[in-house]
């Protein structure tokens, strides 16, 4: 018999009624695949009662239908690498883990298309596709991320500049509505405008509309060669850094990515070029020439080996951060955003940031006292609001999330978004309260 | 029954005299779009000039409980802008201003009536362009592109309209105005921009569109390759993709379409070619030169009988001229034609082409094939003579059979033209009843009263008051009264 964990946290500390019984859950997934939740299963300090791991669409659908029947709140989970996104769940009874649904169902190499179960880890998929000289060019912030999680959280990394996110790579899916209904959208071909684009609707929807069970993705050829051009500078003149990036972005060079790595004392610009060797060499050389007036420039051949398992250090995010933010601004405002971050933080905390040039997104990692971090986020939001930028908390301890909304914005489309949510999840059992506007 | 007089009066009061068309003869201009086989005269046409005008018109429609259809340039090929009986047609043709050009951010904000090519023309002097390039780009509108998620020859490499729309201002069917996305990416909330693009005018009317523009490539290289057969041309395409090359465009034409195009525009295509390929590579010079060599080699390995490289822009334009004129050129070889828009996985090309030939023989009609070989989007042109008894019906049946063949091979019924009115009868062949019912949950959130371009995309409308869940038969369906076309 599975023991209960210490009473799950709730606002007033009162007993939470258990809506799901172990018995019911075991009947769907088997005795070995449901257990009592532990402390580490908490999402923003909210511990569910159970964690269940279905092996198939039928089992996952069964779990959802059951939850719907007893009005139990469900959070889908892949590898849990981006669970920090969003506000704490208003309530949570069951974590529906997708990790057992981890098969690569189909790899049509001739068509550059693959069909995957949602629980497939991106690096495992990478290993399969690599054998045919192809890849799904998505680098998530953390290793271990699953396909379904990457879709639900709209995960991305450096290669976004050239290849986009799941928004651009997902061409079809099988999904399960909160009442257990299984449906399909999109298809197996890249060019397809039949019906509504629910794949895009679900991308970034944080598991609030349905659970993605299978994903059909488009692949790209693996680049044969790569070069990394790095510009190193001291101090905090981010506008000049942005100008350097601008020079490359508005030339005819086609970088795989341009990143800034910023700390309070020094900063780097990293430009990656991938493709056939002659093209990569020529472009890296031209980029180096463009950047030289701005500081120390070096060109490395092993900065990023597209064919190796490991990505270099500078693509991994710092794991000791207390608070992580994602700031999205018009791309030309990147230098400004960086300066605002430095100014808002001041001496109040340790920080570093990664800016994705051309995309306009900055990821900031902060470490320091919770009260200080809360005021830093507030200050930052005030400062960038006028530029049409948003500051979203993607990870923070419960004490910070209790004081400040993760999303920070409303917008006039919020009522419409609520209506969309109401249609797909009328009972509000999927991740209630975690999304924008309390959805 | 709508009170037409009151409707006209209210529209004139809200917009102005010049913005309302009610005379029968003038209304006929709007009775169809690029799909001329279906015609419906709207009750009224209004031509708003601003978001406020659109809002006012939509609100009046709501208050009078009248359906409405939005129309851009009316060049669509699936009847998406086909008016609804007793409905209002809202033409966006007068909203044709480019509102903002923001080069540092690579954004251009336009009104929906702006013509696709105008965007590129506006930013071209600065070294940028707007990538989605449907063949009708000289006349089609951005608003229409948004509705259909238009592609074009270069979408294999550069994506579709939905990859280039970052923000929208939308008038919802109840008259509310919302702002989706913006200049920045990843606006918190659902990706309603992504859901709206390609929704074929059934979720609302876009009144401002924020587009992404990109840098022009350093070089563009175009080549023409002639093969003895379509099979060899197709094998060459597979070889190119397998070599890890993603061309900017790969187009294929068969003998019949080549002959017609040649007769029409004299592009100088190699005669006797069973299959013709146009391959375009673009990007940084060193990369393109290398890839070009590879492509030429692969074509040679697959039986290419003649390879031509465009030496300059003029030659490049000429190479494309024939391909772009292919549809219109069919007029030279046949009184009428019916164009389809199916998609198949690239690897299924040889099989499907054989199947199309077999089906053509079976129906006693010729089919010319022009298509985007890179992404498997076929445009079979079913040739017929409308004057001959029954031939038009046979042509439509054949076109339908071709679509079903595409589906059998894991494809789609539409790659870029949209479902509209024309292809809704095939939706149940591609999606299950549940799939379609769930998709319509989205429409219920935007347009619960089913007033915004009704009768498009879905053969069986979903009642929005229904309890969502597993598909239940529409009461009319149950009673045997609704058509499941």
Please say whether the dihedral angle defined by the alpha carbons of residues B441, B444, B447 and B451, taken in this order, is positive or negative.
positive
3-state secondary structure of A366: strand
CA distance B343 to A189: 7
Q: What is the reported pLDDT for A13?
A: 39
Minimal Cα–Cα distance from A164 to chain B, Å?
9
Q: pLDDT of B343-398, one tens digit each?
A: 999 899 889 999 999 999 999 999 999 988 988 999 999 999 999 999 999 999 99
- Band of the pLDDT at B118, cuts 50, 70, 90? very high
Residue B342 has pLDDT above 80, yes or no: yes
Minimal Cα–Cα distance from A94 to chain B, Å?
21
CB-based contact A209:A421 (threshold 8 Å): yes
Q: What is the reported pLDDT for A12?
A: 40
Largest CA distance in chain B: 70
Minimal Cα–Cα distance from A163 to chain B, Å?
10
Exposure b/e, B300-316, CB count within 10 A at least 16 = b:
eebbbeebbebeeeebb
CA distance B155 to B274: 25
Give residues with Cβ within 8 angstroms of A195, minimum separation 6.
Answer: A185, B419, B427, B430, B431, B435, B436, B439, B457
3-state secondary structure of B105: coil
CA distance B112 to B207: 6
Exposure b/e, B58-85, CB count within 10 A at least 16 = b:
bbbbbeeebbbbbbbbbbbbbbbbbbbe
CA distance A128 to A106: 10
Specify the DSSP element, H or E, that contains A22: helix A22-29
DSSP annotation string for A152-175 = HTT---TTHHHH--HHHHEEEEEE
Q: Which two tokens stand for residue A415?
A: 């009522």
Test the A interface: residue of B210, B412, B466, B470 with most A CBs within 10 Å: B412
Please state, in angstroms and as integers, the Cα–Cα distance from residue B337 to each residue in A181, A210, A404, B417, following that order: 42, 43, 62, 16
Test the A interface: residue of B156, B170, B188 with most A CBs within 10 Å: B188
Distance of alpha carbon B379 from its chain centroid, rounded?
12
Q: Which carries the bigger pLDDT value, residue B311 or residue A418? A: A418
Q: What is the reported pLDDT for A16?
A: 60
Give residues with Cβ within 8 angstroms of A338, minimum separation 6.
Answer: A238, A241, A242, A260, A262, A353, A355, A362
Q: What is the number of alpha carbons within 13 Å of residue A187 lying toward its C-beta?
A: 28
**Which residues, numbered 285 to 344 in chain A, qualify as contacts with chain B under a Cβ-Cβ cut-off of 8 Å?**
326, 328-333
Whether residue A254 and residue B197 make contact (CB cut-off 8 A), yes or no, is: no
- A131 and chain B in contact, CB less than 8 A: no
Q: What is the reported pLDDT for A386?
A: 86
- A13 and chain B in contact, CB less than 8 A: no
CB-closest option in A188, A195, A412 to B179: A412
3-state secondary structure of B149: coil
Whether residue B443 and residue A196 make contact (CB cut-off 8 A), yes or no, is: yes
Going residue by residue through chain A, which has 439 residues, state the pLDDT in tens, using 9 for 90 and above: 444 444 444 444 345 678 899 999 999 999 999 999 999 999 999 999 999 999 999 999 999 999 999 999 999 999 999 999 999 999 999 999 999 999 999 999 999 999 999 999 999 999 999 999 999 999 887 889 999 999 999 999 999 999 999 999 999 999 999 999 999 999 999 999 999 999 999 999 999 999 999 999 999 999 999 999 999 998 889 999 999 999 999 999 999 999 999 987 788 999 999 999 999 999 999 999 999 999 999 999 865 544 333 334 444 444 468 899 999 999 999 999 999 999 999 888 889 899 999 999 999 999 999 999 999 999 999 999 888 899 999 999 999 999 999 999 889 999 999 999 999 999 999 999 999 999 9
Whether residue B432 and residue A197 make contact (CB cut-off 8 A), yes or no, is: no
Contacts of A392 in chain B (CB under 8 A): 188
Chains A, B: CB pairs < 8 Å: 269
In this structure, which long-range contacts are made by residues A249-252, counting pairs with CB atoms below 8 Å and at least 24 apart in sequence? A249/A331, A249/A357, A249/A358, A249/B215, A250/B103, A250/B127, A250/B215, A251/A286, A251/A290, A251/B215, A252/B127, A252/B215, A252/B216, A252/B217, A252/B218, A252/B284
Q: What is the reported pLDDT for A302?
A: 64
Cα–Cα–Cα angle for B187, B192, B195, rounded to 5 degrees: 140
Contacts of A414 in chain B (CB under 8 A): 189
Residue of chain A nearest B151, judged by CA positions:
A191
CA distance A193 to A206: 24
Give residues with Cβ within 8 angstroms of B207, minimum separation 6.
Answer: B50, B51, B54, B92, B95, B111, B112, B169, B170, B171, B177
CA distance B35 to B337: 11
Q: What is the reported pLDDT for B465?
A: 75
Give residues with Cβ within 8 angstroms of A316, minimum separation 6.
Answer: A143
Nearest alpha carbon to residue A149 among A201, A243, A95, A212: A212
**Residue reference for tokens 């190699």:** B270
Give residues with Cβ within 8 angstroms of A237, minimum separation 6.
Answer: none
Residue of chain B nearest A243, judged by CA positions:
B104
CB-closest option in B242, B431, B470 to A184: B431
Exposure b/e, B127-137, CB count within 10 A at least 16 = b:
ebbbbbbbbbb
Contacts of B413 in chain A (CB under 8 A): 194
In degrees and rounded to multiples of 5, residue B112 shows phi and psi of -65, -25
DSSP annotation string for A67-86 = HHHHT--EEEESS-TTTTSS
């Amino acid at each position: 018999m599975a023991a209960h964990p210490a009473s799950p946290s709730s606002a007033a500390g009162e007993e939470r009624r258990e809506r799901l019984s172990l018995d019911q859950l075991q009947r769907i997934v088997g005795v070995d695949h449901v257990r009592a939740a532990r402390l580490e299963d908490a999402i923003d300090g909210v511990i569910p009662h159970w964690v269940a791991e279905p092996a198939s669409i039928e089992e996952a659908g069964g779990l959802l239908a059951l939850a719907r029947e007893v009005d139990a709140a469900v959070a889908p989970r892949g590898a849990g690498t981006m669970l920090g996104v969003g506000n704490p769940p208003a309530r949570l009874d069951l974590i529906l883990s997708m990790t057992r649904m981890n098969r690569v169902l189909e790899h049509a190499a001739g068509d550059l298309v693959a069909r995957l179960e949602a629980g497939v880890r991106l690096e495992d998929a990478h290993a399969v596709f690599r054998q045919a000289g192809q890849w799904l060019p998505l680098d998530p912030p953390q290793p271990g991320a699953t396909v379904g999680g990457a879709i639900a959280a709209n995960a991305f990394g450096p290669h976004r500049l050239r290849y986009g996110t799941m928004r651009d790579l997902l061409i079809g899916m099988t999904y399960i509505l909160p009442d257990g209904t299984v449906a399909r959208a999109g298809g197996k071909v890249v060019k397809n405008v039949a019906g509504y684009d629910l794949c895009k609707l679900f991308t970034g929807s944080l598991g609030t509309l349905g659970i993605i069970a299978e994903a059909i993705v488009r692949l790209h050829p693996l680049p044969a060669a790569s070069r990394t051009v790095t510009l190193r500078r001291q101090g905090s003149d981010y506008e000049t850094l942005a100008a350097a990036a601008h020079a490359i972005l508005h030339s005819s060079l086609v970088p795989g990515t341009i990143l800034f790595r910023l700390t309070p004392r020094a900063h780097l610009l990293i430009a990656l070029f991938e493709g056939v060797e002659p093209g990569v060499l020529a472009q890296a050389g031209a980029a180096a020439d463009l950047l030289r007036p701005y500081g120390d420039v070096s060109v490395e051949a092993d900065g990023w080996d597209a064919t190796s398992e490991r990505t270099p250090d500078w693509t991994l995010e710092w794991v000791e951060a207390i608070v992580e933010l994602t700031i999205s601004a018009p791309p030309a405002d990147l230098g400004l955003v960086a300066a605002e971050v430095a100014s808002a933080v001041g001496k109040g905390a340790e920080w570093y940031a990664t800016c994705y040039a051309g995309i306009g997104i900055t990821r900031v990692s902060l470490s320091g006292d919770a009260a200080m971090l809360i005021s830093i986020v507030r200050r930052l939001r005030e400062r960038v609001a006028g530029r049409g930028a948003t500051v979203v908390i993607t990870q923070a301890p419960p004490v910070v999330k209790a004081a400040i909304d993760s999303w920070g914005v409303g917008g006039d489309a919020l009522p419409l978004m609520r209506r969309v949510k109401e249609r797909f999840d009328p009972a509000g059992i999927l991740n209630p309260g975690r999304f924008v506007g309390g959805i | 029954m709508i009170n037409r007089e009151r409707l006209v009066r209210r529209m004139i009061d809200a917009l102005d005299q010049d913005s309302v068309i009610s005379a029968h003869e003038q209304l006929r201009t709007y009775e169809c779009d690029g799909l001329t086989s279906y015609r419906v005269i709207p009750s009224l046409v209004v031509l708003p000039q601003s978001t406020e005008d659109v809002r006012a018109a939509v609100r009046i429609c709501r208050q009078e409980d009248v359906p409405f259809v939005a129309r851009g340039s009316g060049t669509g090929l699936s009847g998406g802008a086909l008016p609804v009986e007793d409905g209002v047609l809202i033409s966006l043709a007068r909203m044709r201003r480019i509102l903002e050009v923001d080069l540092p951010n690579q954004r251009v904000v336009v009104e929906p009536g702006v013509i696709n090519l105008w965007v590129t023309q506006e930013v071209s002097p600065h070294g940028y362009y707007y990538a989605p390039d449907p063949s009708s780009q000289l006349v089609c509108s951005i608003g229409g592109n948004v509705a259909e998620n238009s592609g074009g020859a270069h979408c294999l490499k550069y994506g579709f309209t939905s990859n280039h729309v970052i923000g929208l201002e939308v008038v919802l069917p109840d008259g509310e105005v919302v702002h989706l996305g913006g200049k920045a990416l990843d606006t918190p909330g659902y990706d309603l921009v992504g859901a709206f693009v390609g929704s074929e005018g059934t979720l609302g009317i876009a009144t401002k569109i924020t587009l992404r523009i990109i840098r022009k490539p350093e070089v563009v290289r175009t080549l023409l390759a002639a093969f003895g057969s379509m099979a060899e041309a197709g094998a060459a395409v597979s070889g190119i993709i397998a070599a890890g090359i993603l061309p900017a465009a790969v187009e294929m034409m068969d003998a019949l379409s080549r002959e017609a195009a040649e007769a029409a525009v004299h592009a100088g295509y190699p005669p006797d070619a069973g299959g013709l390929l146009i391959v375009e590579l673009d990007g940084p010079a060193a990369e393109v030169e290398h890839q070009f060599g590879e492509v030429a080699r692969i074509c040679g390995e697959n039986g290419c009988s003649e390879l031509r490289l465009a030496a300059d822009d003029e030659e490049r334009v000429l190479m494309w001229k024939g391909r772009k004129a292919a549809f219109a050129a069919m007029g030279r070889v046949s009184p009428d034609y019916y164009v389809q828009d199916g998609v198949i996985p690239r690897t299924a090309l040889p099989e499907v082409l054989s199947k199309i030939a077999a089906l053509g023989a079976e129906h006693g009609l010729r089919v010319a094939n022009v298509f985007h070989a890179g992404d498997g989007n076929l445009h079979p042109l079913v040739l017929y003579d409308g004057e001959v008894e029954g031939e038009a019906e046979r042509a439509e049946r054949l076109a339908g059979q071709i679509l079903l063949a595409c589906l059998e091979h894991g494809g789609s019924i539409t790659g870029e033209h949209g479902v509209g009115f024309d292809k809704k009868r095939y939706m149940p062949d591609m999606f299950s009843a549940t799939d379609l019912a769930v998709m319509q949950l989205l429409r219920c959130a935007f347009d619960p009263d089913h007033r915004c371009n009704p009768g498009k995309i879905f053969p069986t409308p979903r009642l929005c008051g229904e309890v969502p869940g597993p598909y239940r038969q529409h009461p009319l369906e149950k009673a045997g009264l609704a058509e499941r076309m």
